[in-house]
Amino acid sequence: MALRNLFDSFFQEEEVRTRPLVCGLAAKFANLLESDAKIYSRFYSATTIKKSSTVGELLDSIDKRYDIVHVLCDVSSNGIISAARGNTITGTLLIEKCCSADVKLLWIASENGAESYIKGFKAAGKRINLVMTISRNGPSFSGFLQKLLSKIAHGETMPKAWASLAPQAPGSAHRELSDCIFAAFRPDAKFR
């Protein structure tokens, strides 16, 4: 029996602590950055908060292998992300950079137009969950983020947690929620 337990211990799934990066690309996002980071910190002690003034700083941070990258930034009508110092990157290139660093969830958490995301954030074929915020809907965003993180921090997959909070039934309206686009291209990812 002891040999069996020793053998099993070599093949047990390793418990990995989720590492979120909460980043703002302009000073105007300072309050949202602080608010969102507090919510992440309730569930993930390894949360990193970063105020970046260039796209390069954001990309350098992503290289540090975070599981979740939560970004507050401006996205142009062509799908280009800009930073305080005028640096830019397309949404598609940001997605590719995140995939290269094994990011499991990229969340653009600032309000940007749906057309901007459609034009500049091509994620098909990429192994990443992607959330793009159209409207935070005031305090509704914080409430939704807290409920979602509570579920995924306790082992639910993101698609299951999302669907339980925002059912996708035809004709259902969610006035109490923020308006986001969610693409689950890595539906099995865990965020404990």
pLDDT in tens, 143-160: 999 999 999 999 999 999
| Position 8 in a domain | no
Q: What is the mean pLDDT of residues 9-20?
A: 62
| Strand spans (E) along the chain | 20-24, 48-51, 68-72, 74-75, 80-82, 88-90, 105-108, 129-135, 179-184
Residues facing 125 on adjacent strands = none
Q: Residues 6 or more apart from 162 whose CB is under 8 A from it?
A: 148, 182, 184
What CATH code is carried by the domain that includes residue 83?
3.40.50.720
| Position 93 in a domain | yes
Instruction: Take residue 101 and report the two structure tokens written for it.
Output: 């660093």
Kind and range of the H or E run holding 147: helix 140-153
Please count the structural domains in the chain: 1
Which one-letter amino acid corresponds to residue 181? I
What domain range includes position 74? 17-184
| Position 57 in a domain | yes
pLDDT tens-place string over residues 48-107:
999 999 999 999 999 999 999 999 999 999 999 999 887 899 999 999 999 999 999 999
| Position 190 in a domain | no
